[in-house]
């Protein structure tokens, strides 16, 4: 494929390396090249099959909008924009493009989400929960998209009902605590605690390699498909 990669950060640079290793033609546009969406002008996208975005929360939505208008499919690894998820879904569907996003493209993290989904049953047995997430000091969004995804999975899978209304609310039971320190790639911990015991679950990324490989495989899977996809629903099919 002919891929345009938006973002020259640490993860973006590794995505570029993996894409080339897997035989794709790649063009990279950093913040300078993409000022005022210059890299997403129609003439610049003419020979591009798909755009991968690893930029920042404050510019990703405008990148998505520009690609949708140009009829180009996207894989988005940038987080911090999910408050606009419904609007972006409608935009993608209106323009008939393909779109695949993820809070985290690591296969290990998506396995961890499945573990969290199972562990959420503890909330129905007098457990409360906390999520701790650690990332490097340059990460701009907090909580991380992955931490929010874990929180969402636990809430959905450990749903409360009227019979438990006297207990703490979900928001109180599943707090997220964020740390930004050094060059931490990404660590996410779940602690489920009752009066009797404590359960610890942890995913610790040793490098960004898993993120990069997952993003490129996601782009290959998306290809010419149309529609709106979440990586957590398709990663097992890559």
Angle at 209 between CA 139 and CA 10, to 5 degrees: 40
Helix ranges (H only) for 71-208 are 85-95, 107-119, 145-157, 170-173
Query: What is the tens place of the pLDDT at every residue in 207-218?
Result: 999 999 999 999
Residue 135 designated active-site: yes
Same domain, 97 and 125: no
Q: Is the pLDDT of residue 110 over 80?
A: yes
User: Is residue 164 very low, low, confident or very high in pLDDT (cuts 50, 70, 90)?
Assistant: very low
Q: Mean pLDDT, to the nearest integer, of 25-52?
A: 95
Same domain, 96 and 120: no
Residue 206 designated active-site: no
- How many structural domains are present in the chain? 2
Query: What is the tens place of the pLDDT at every residue in 42-63?
Result: 899 999 999 999 999 999 999 9
Query: Which one is predicted more confidently, 82 or 172?
Result: 82
Q: Mean pLDDT, to the nearest integer, of 112-129?
A: 94
Same domain, 28 and 61: yes
Same domain, 127 and 187: yes
Q: Please name the residues in contact with 35: beta carbons below 8 A apart, sequence gap of 6 or more.
A: none
Q: Mean pLDDT, to the nearest integer, of 85-104?
A: 96
Q: Which domain holds residue 139?
A: 107-204
Angle of the 145-157 helix axis to the 107-119 helix axis, nearest 10: 30
Same domain, 9 and 83: yes
Q: Mean pLDDT, to the nearest integer, of 20-31?
A: 96
Same domain, 189 and 111: yes
Same domain, 85 and 164: no
DSSP 162: G
Nearest CA-CA partner of 214 in 61, 111, 82, 131: 111
E strands present in the chain: 2-6, 25-29, 50-53, 73-76, 98-101, 128-135, 174-180, 187-193, 198-204, 227-230
* pTM: predicted TM-score of the whole model, two decimal places: 0.82
Q: Mean pLDDT, to the nearest integer, of 115-144?
A: 93
> Under a CB-based contact definition with an 8 Å cutoff, are residues 48 and 27 in contact?
yes
The predicted pLDDT at position 173 comes to 64
**3-7, 106-110, 231-235, range with greatest mean pLDDT:** 3-7
Residue with tokens 């988005």: 76
CATH number, domain at 195?
3.30.360.10
Same domain, 97 and 174: no
- Mean pLDDT score across all residues of the chain: 91
- Phi, psi (deg, nearest 5) at residue 218: -65, -40
Residues belonging to the chain: 238
Percent of the chain with pLDDT over 70: 94
> Under a CB-based contact definition with an 8 Å cutoff, are residues 218 and 149 in contact?
no
User: Is residue 159 very low, low, confident or very high in pLDDT (cuts 50, 70, 90)?
Assistant: low
C-alpha to C-alpha distance for 129 and 199, rounded to whole angstroms: 9
Handedness of CA 6, 137, 105, 225 (dihedral sign): negative
Same domain, 84 and 135: no
C-alpha to C-alpha distance for 56 and 69, rounded to whole angstroms: 20
The predicted pLDDT at position 171 comes to 46
Catalytic residue among 139, 188, 203, 232: 139
User: Is residue 163 very low, low, confident or very high in pLDDT (cuts 50, 70, 90)?
Assistant: very low
The predicted pLDDT at position 167 comes to 46
Catalytic residue among 24, 58, 95, 135: 135
Q: Mean pLDDT, to the nearest integer, of 70-75?
A: 97
Q: Mean pLDDT, to the nearest integer, of 63-91?
A: 96
CATH number, domain at 232?
3.40.50.720
The predicted pLDDT at position 6 comes to 97
Same domain, 97 and 14: yes
> Under a CB-based contact definition with an 8 Å cutoff, are residues 9 and 54 in contact?
yes
> Under a CB-based contact definition with an 8 Å cutoff, are residues 210 and 80 in contact?
no
């Amino acid at each position: 494929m002919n891929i345009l990669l938006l973002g020259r950060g640490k993860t973006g640079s590794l995505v570029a390396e993996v894409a080339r290793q897997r035989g794709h033609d790649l063009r990279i546009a950093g913040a300078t090249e993409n000022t005022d969406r210059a890299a997403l002008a129609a003439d610049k996208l003419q020979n591009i099959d798909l755009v991968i975005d690893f930029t920042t929360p404050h510019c990703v939505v405008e990148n998505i909008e520009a690609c949708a208008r140009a009829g180009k499919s996207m894989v988005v690894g940038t987080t911090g924009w999910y408050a606009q998820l419904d609007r972006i879904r409608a935009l993608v569907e209106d323009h008939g493009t393909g779109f695949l996003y993820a809070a985290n493209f690591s296969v290990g993290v998506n396995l961890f989400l499945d573990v969290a989904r199972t562990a959420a049953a503890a909330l129905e047995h007098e457990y409360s929960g906390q999520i701790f997430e650690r990332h490097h000091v340059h990460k701009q969004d907090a909580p991380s998209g992955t931490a929010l995804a874990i929180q969402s999975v636990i809430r959905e899978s450990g749903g409360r009902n009227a019979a438990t209304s006297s207990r703490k609310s979900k928001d109180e039971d599943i707090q997220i605590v964020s740390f930004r320190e050094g060059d931490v790639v990404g660590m996410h911990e779940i602690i489920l605690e009752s009066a009797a015991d404590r359960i610890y679950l942890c995913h610790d990324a040793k490098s960004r390699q898993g993120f990069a490989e997952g993003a490129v495989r996601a782009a290959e899977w998306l290809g010419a498909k149309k529609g709106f996809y979440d990586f957590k629903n398709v990663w097992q099919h890559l």
